[in-house]
Chain A
C-alpha cells in the first residue's frame, strides 16, 4: 500500500528548463538477458585484412576456423576461459587469399577455397601440407562446403567463374560439374541439413538455386528463384524445409518444400547483410533440447540481429564498432564470434557458472573418499564480528522482505527552507553558484513573503555574495525581470552598508557598468529592430 499523502516538492525556479526525463531503462527480456550474458573480448586483432568467414567445427571441442588474408586461422574450442589459437595455426598453404573454410561432418578435415581457384583440404589436428588439392576453377573460389550429414567423401565448390563442382575428395575428381550454373559470381552456398546430396547456392545474378546430385545429369537443378539483390549468404534452417537468403538490406525466408515460396522478409538492417548463421539461446533452466534456435545475421552497418524464425520477430540487436562480414555461433552455445572488415574478431564467451566449478571440486573430493567437514567458527562476544552478525544476511526465498522506504535526497537549501531558516537557505544557495537554484530559493521566499526581510538581515559578507550574484545574473534574459527589480530593492535597502564598505562599493560599481552595457545592447537592438521592421512591412505587402 503506497502512501497517498503528497510528496515533498523541492523549490524550483519557474523559468527553470527541466532536463528531458531520463530514458526509461527497458526491462530486459529473457532473450536479451541471454545475449547480454556473454563476456566480450577481441579474439584476434592483428589480422588487418577482412575476416571473410568464420566456421565452427560440428563436433566437440568445436574448433573455429577463420578465413583471413592468405591463411585460415584455427582456434581451440576447448580452451578456457576464451578461445586460443591451435599450435599449428594458421594454415598457410595458400598462394593467395583464402576463402570459405568448411569442416567435414566429423570435424577431422577442413576444406577451403582461395583467390587462386584452388580448393585445398587440410587436417585439423596437426600441421602439414594440404592432403588434397582440387583444381577445376579458373577464378577465385568463394564457396566450399562439405555436406552436413553422414557424407565424408564429397564436397562442393562454387567460384567466380560461375562453375559449380561436386567433388569426390579422395580421388580429387569432379563427380558432377555445372559450368555456367549461375550467370554471375557464386558467392553463397549451403548444404542441406537433412540430405547430403542437396545443396543451395546463391549468386550475384540475384538468383538462388537448389541442386540435387542424385538425379541424372541435366535435371540436377531442382529449384531456382530470385532474391532480388546480389545474394551474399544462403543458409538452410534446421528443418531443411526453410532456406534463409541474405542479399542487399534484406534477409528472406523461403519455403523450399512448397517450391520456393517466400514466407517472410526481414528488413531490419540498413546496409548489405553479409552473413547468416544459426544460434541457439539457452534458458536459465537446464533443458536438454539446447534452447530455441535463432537466425543470426550481420551486416555492413555494424549490427548483429537475432531473429526468431518461429515467430518471425527480431528478438535482439547488438551493435559493433565496425563493418561486419562474418558470424559464427558455437554449437555448444557458449561462444559467439563476429568477424569485421578491419581484421578484428569479436568474441563473446558465455560466463561459466561458478557453481559448476564448485560442483566439480566437490565431486573430486568425494572421489578421494574424505569429505572435510567445514569448520564452523562460533562467534563469541569477544569477537568484533559478533556484534555485526546477521547484518549482511541475504533474505531467503521464503522470507517476507519489507523494503525500506527510499530516502528523499534534498538539497541543502531545501532542508533549511523546511526548517524555515530563510536567510541561511538563501546564503547556502548563493554560495553554491547555481543561478537557477538561487532564483528558485528567492521565488520561494517571495511566496513566503520573506525575501526582503532576508535581504535586510544579510551581513556584509553575505551581502557581498548577493551583489556578486546580481552582478553576474541580473541581466540574463531568463531572470532579468525579477532580478533587476531585486537589485534595485537591495541597493535602496542597504545603501548605508554599501557606502560604508569599500568592497561592496566595488561590486556596485561593477553592477553599474554592467547595466550601462545592457542599456547599450538594448539600444543597438532597437536600432536593428528599426531597420528590420520597415523591411517586414514591405515584405508583408
Chain B
C-alpha cells in the first residue's frame, strides 16, 4: 500500500539551520527536501498519527556542531515530538492531549545547542483547540494559548489567552515578542527571558478597523507589520515602549506625549507611529521581513510577491507565480528563500532577483468548475503504462504526477493565457484523456461567453515527445461540435483514433493522418481530422468508450447504449434503457460486458452484456467513479454514501466486482470520496518481487480522493497489509439478479468498523533497518558515527531472533 499526493502546503515549511534542507509538513509526516535539487531526501515518520502543524528547527551556535540537526514538531494528535532529522530518529515525545494548531519556541535561539552555556528549560507556546467546547456555541472560545515546558514535559499553569479559534502564533526573530492576530487587533506579548509565569507576561493590543490576517515582527527594530483582509499593510513602529519597558519613569514620560505626536495610532495604543501601505487588492496571506530588516515581503490571493523597501515604501514585484500564495519563508542563507503556493507547490527563490530556482511540486489540487458546466467532474486521467496521473489544474495546465514516485513529472500548458487567481473563471480545461500507451493526449478547453458572445470550445490533440509525459501540440480543432460542449473523449486502443461525444447530439471520430507522399516530396500534412460523424435519434451523447481490442465503440445516447463499428461508422446494436442519462461507460477487460453509470434522480450501476444485448445485473447506487481492469474481468466502483446512512456525506465505499457475479469481491471504506476517482495500474517494476511471491495478477488499484491524495493498493492481496473487509462478512448485499434492483444503504451500516479500516495508515516499519539507513543521496547521508550506532543496534536485535 502506497500513500501519496499529500498536501505540502498545510503549514509553513522551515529551513534547516544550514539552509540545505527544507522541512515540509506532509500529512502525518515531515518530509525533508534538499534545496539544491528539490528532491525528497527523507521523511520523519512514526511519531505523529495526525496532521503535523508546525516544525521548529533547533538552531546551532558553534560551527563544530554543524552536523547536529534537531527539530520539534507539533501535531493535531496532541503530541510534540523531538527529532534528530539527520538520521532520522524520534528522540522524545511530549503528550499535550489537545490538538495543537501552532507552536513556537521563542527562547530556543537564546540557548542554542553546542554553546557552553548550561541549557535552560525550553518553553513552547502552543495554540491548541479545546474540543470540549462545541463550535455551535455563540462566543465560544475554542482556541487557547498555553505554555509548555518541553524539558520537563509539564504544562505551565494558566492560559495566556483565549481566542475564538486556534490562531497562528508568530514570534520575533530574537524571541522577544510573541503575537497573534485577534479579529481587529494584534495581541503582542513580551516574552520573559527565564521566568515563565503567566501573570508575569505583559501584553499590549494594537487596534485596527479591519480584520487582521497576518503579522510579522521586524528582526531588529521594535516594529511590527500587520496585514488585513482588504490588503492594507500597517506598520507600527516603537510598539510597547510604555508597557514593556517596565520602567515607571519612562512610562510617565511617554504619557506626556499627546495623540498628535503619535501619527496613525488608534485608541491610544502603545506605539510611536503607525503607517499604512496599500497595494494588494485582497486579503494578505503572509508578511515577512528580510533578515537584514530592510525589506518587507507580502503576498496574497493575487499571486504576486511584493517587496517593500521599508525606508522609502518603494515596491518591487514578482508576478506570475500562477496561484494564490500562502507562506513565505526565509532561510539562514540570505540568497535563498521559499514561497508556498496554494496549488501545492513550494518555489525556492534565488533571493535578490527572486528567480525560481527549483520547485517542490505536490499534486495540484482540484478546482471548482464554473456554474453551467455539464458532464462528469473527474479532473484526472491516467497514463496506466507509465503509472502517471494527469491532473487538470486551474492555471490551464495538465500536470503529470508519478503515482509510484510521488512527484511531479511534467506540466503541459494547454491554453496560452496568463492565469489570474483573483478573476472569475472564464476559461477552463474541461477534459483530458490519455491513450492507453500514453503516446497521445487529448484536451478540451472551454471559454465561457460573455453575454452570449465569444464562447469557444477547442479540442487539442497532443503527441508525446521522446520522454515520458512530454507532450507537444499536434492539432487544434476549434468548436469541434459547433456550439455544443463535449461530454467525453476517448482514444481507441492500438490505433491513432479518438472519439468525442457532445451534448449537441452527435459524436465524431477523429483520425491522425501521417505525412502523405506526393510527387516524391513529403508533405507535412500530419494532423488530426474528422473521419466520420454519427448520431442516434438526435439525443445528446453523454459518454463514449472503446472496447479493449478497439473493435467496438460504445456511445451512450442519453439513456441507451449504442454500439458502433468505429471503422465503417455503422450502428451495430442498441442496448438497455435507463431512466436517467448515462454518465460513464466502460468495457470490462476482454470480456463481453459493458458497465454503465447513471446519475440523476434514479442512479444506477448497470452491467450490460454485448453478446446477449441485454442488462445482466444492476444496482441502485450513487457511483462517483468507475474503473475496469485491463486483463481480468473485474471492475471497481467508487460509491458515495449519502446521509441516510448517518455517516458523513463525504465518505464512500470502493466496491470491487467480478463481472459474472453481482456480489462484490471486496469492499473498502474511504473518506472524501466526492470528486474522487479510481484506476487500475500495472505494478511498478519495484513491486515485482511481491507479485512473484504471491503469484497473483500484477494489477494495483489507485484511489484518488477529492483532495487529490491517493493510495495505491493491491485489491487481490488477501493478507492484512491493507484494511479490507474479509470475504466471509458477505457485506449483506442482496443479490439483484438480472431483473431486480437492490438498495444497500441500510446494509452498509452493519459493516464492522474494526475490519473496515480506512486505508490511510502508514507503512509498518521495516525490521531490517540496515537496508534503508545507507540509502539516500550521498550529500544527505548522515555521518558514519550516527549510522554505525543504528546499524549495530539493529544487529543486536537480530541476534536473539537468530538464536530462536
Task: List chain B residues, Cβ under 8 A from A452.
Answer: 450-451, 453
Q: A216 at interface (Cβ–Cβ under 8 A)?
A: no
B418 touches A14 (CB 8 A): no
B450 touches A14 (CB 8 A): no
B356 touches A4 (CB 8 A): yes
User: A446-B454, A447-B426 are contacts. A1–B357 as well, Cβ < 8 Å?
Assistant: yes
B426 touches A449 (CB 8 A): yes
Q: A370 at interface (Cβ–Cβ under 8 A)?
A: no
B418 touches A489 (CB 8 A): no
B-binding segment of A5-13, A180-188, A520-528: A5-13
Point out the residue from B320, B423, B424, B452 that lies within 8 Å of A8, measured CB to CB.
B320
Task: List chain B residues, Cβ under 8 A from A388.
Answer: none
B424 touches A486 (CB 8 A): no
Q: Mark B354-382, 1 if CB is under 8 A from A, else 0.
A: 01111100000000000000000000000
Q: A448 at interface (Cβ–Cβ under 8 A)?
A: yes
Task: List chain B residues, Cβ under 8 A from A445.
Answer: 450
Task: List chain A residues, Cβ under 8 A from B449.
Answer: 446
Task: List chain A residues, Cβ under 8 A from B447.
Answer: 443, 446-447
Task: List chain A residues, Cβ under 8 A from B229.
Answer: none
Between B358, B451, B453, the greatest number of chain A beta carbons within 10 A of the residue's beta carbon is seen for B453
Q: In the complex, A14→B359 CA distance in Å? A: 31
Residue of B nearest to A2 (CB): B355
Would you list which residues of chain A between 443 and 498 have a CB under 8 Å from chain B? Answer: 443-452, 482, 485-486, 489
Q: In the complex, A449→B322 CA distance in Å? A: 20
Task: List chain A residues, Cβ under 8 A from B458.
Answer: 14
B320 touches A451 (CB 8 A): no
Would you list which residues of chain B between 402 and 440 have a CB under 8 Å from chain A? Answer: 413, 416-419, 423-424, 426-427
User: A449-B424, A449-B426 are contacts. A6–B450 as well, Cβ < 8 Å?
Assistant: no
Task: List chain B residues, Cβ under 8 A from A15.
Answer: 478
Point out the residue from A4, A9, A482 that lies within 8 Å of B416, measured CB to CB.
A9
Q: A442 at interface (Cβ–Cβ under 8 A)?
A: yes
Q: B347 at interface (Cβ–Cβ under 8 A)?
A: yes
B454 touches A485 (CB 8 A): yes
Task: List chain A residues, Cβ under 8 A from B355.
Answer: 1, 3, 5
B426 touches A482 (CB 8 A): no
Residue of A nearest to B456 (CB): A14
Cβ distance A476 to chain B, nearest Cβ, rounded Å: 15
Residue of A nearest to B455 (CB): A446
A451 touches B456 (CB 8 A): no
Q: B241 at interface (Cβ–Cβ under 8 A)?
A: no
A6 touches B417 (CB 8 A): no
B426 touches A446 (CB 8 A): yes
Q: In the complex, A452→B449 CA distance in Å? A: 11
Q: B183 at interface (Cβ–Cβ under 8 A)?
A: no
Task: List chain A residues, Cβ under 8 A from B450.
Answer: 445-446, 449-452
Cβ distance B459 to chain A, nearest Cβ, rounded Å: 12
B320 touches A5 (CB 8 A): yes
Task: List chain B residues, Cβ under 8 A from A3.
Answer: 355-356
Residue of B nearest to A11 (CB): B417
Task: List chain A residues, Cβ under 8 A from B426.
Answer: 446-449
B427 touches A489 (CB 8 A): no
Task: List chain A residues, Cβ under 8 A from B416.
Answer: 9, 12
B453 touches A486 (CB 8 A): yes
Q: B321 at interface (Cβ–Cβ under 8 A)?
A: yes
B418 touches A8 (CB 8 A): yes
Cβ distance B339 to chain A, nearest Cβ, rounded Å: 10
Task: List chain A residues, Cβ under 8 A from B417.
Answer: 9, 444, 447
B453 touches A446 (CB 8 A): yes
Task: List chain A residues, Cβ under 8 A from B419.
Answer: 6
Q: In the complex, A450→B453 CA distance in Å? A: 11
Q: In the complex, A489→B453 CA distance in Å? A: 9
A485 touches B321 (CB 8 A): no
Residue of B nearest to A453 (CB): B450
Cβ distance B238 to chain A, nearest Cβ, rounded Å: 37
Residue of A nearest to B395 (CB): A6
Q: Mark A420-459, 1 if CB is under 8 A from B, else 0.
A: 0000000000000000000000111111111110000000
Q: In the complex, A37→B426 CA distance in Å? A: 56
Q: Mark B286-330, 1 if CB is under 8 A from A, else 0.
A: 000000000000000000000000000000000011100000000
Q: B350 at interface (Cβ–Cβ under 8 A)?
A: yes
Residue of B nearest to A452 (CB): B451
A448 touches B356 (CB 8 A): no
A5 touches B322 (CB 8 A): yes
Task: List chain B residues, Cβ under 8 A from A14.
Answer: 456, 458, 478
B350 touches A447 (CB 8 A): no
Residue of B nearest to A444 (CB): B417
Residue of B nearest to A446 (CB): B454
Task: List chain B residues, Cβ under 8 A from A485.
Answer: 452-454
Residue of B nearest to A443 (CB): B454
Q: In the complex, A450→B321 CA distance in Å? A: 24
Q: In the complex, A448→B425 CA distance in Å? A: 9
A5 touches B357 (CB 8 A): no
Cβ distance B399 to chain A, nearest Cβ, rounded Å: 13
A1 touches B418 (CB 8 A): no
Would you list which residues of chain A between 1 and 45 have a CB under 8 Å from chain B? Answer: 1, 3-9, 12, 14-15
Task: List chain B residues, Cβ under 8 A from A451.
Answer: 450, 453-454
Q: In the complex, A1→B357 CA distance in Å? A: 6
Q: In the complex, A447→B456 CA distance in Å? A: 10
Q: In the complex, A416→B418 CA distance in Å? A: 14
Cβ distance A354 to chain B, nearest Cβ, rounded Å: 40
Task: List chain A residues, Cβ under 8 A from B424.
Answer: 449
Q: In the complex, A166→B321 CA distance in Å? A: 85
B454 touches A5 (CB 8 A): no
Between B347, B355, B424, B452, the greatest number of chain A beta carbons within 10 A of the residue's beta carbon is seen for B355
Task: List chain B residues, Cβ under 8 A from A449.
Answer: 424, 426, 450
Point out the residue from B359, B418, B427 that lies within 8 Å of A4, measured CB to CB.
B359
Q: In the complex, A469→B34 CA distance in Å? A: 56
Q: Mark B623-664, 1 if CB is under 8 A from A, else 0.
A: 000000000000000000000000000000000000000000
Task: List chain B residues, Cβ under 8 A from A7.
Answer: 320
Q: In the complex, A8→B317 CA distance in Å? A: 14
Would you list which residues of chain A between 131 and 168 have a CB under 8 Å from chain B? Answer: none
Q: Mark B454-470, 1 if CB is under 8 A from A, else 0.
A: 10101000000000000
Cβ distance A63 to chain B, nearest Cβ, rounded Å: 47
Task: List chain A residues, Cβ under 8 A from B423.
Answer: 448
Q: In the complex, A447→B452 CA distance in Å? A: 12
A1 touches B453 (CB 8 A): no
Residue of B nearest to A449 (CB): B450
Q: Provide 25 A-B residue pairs closer than 8 Å at the C-beta atoms, listed in order of the A residue.
A: A1-B350, A4-B356, A5-B322, A6-B322, A6-B419, A7-B320, A8-B320, A8-B418, A12-B416, A14-B456, A15-B478, A446-B426, A446-B447, A446-B449, A447-B417, A447-B427, A448-B426, A449-B426, A449-B450, A451-B450, A451-B453, A452-B453, A485-B453, A486-B454, A489-B451
Given contacts A5-B321, A6-B395, A448-B423, 8 further A-B contacts (CB under 8 A): A6-B322, A6-B413, A6-B418, A7-B320, A12-B416, A449-B426, A482-B453, A486-B453
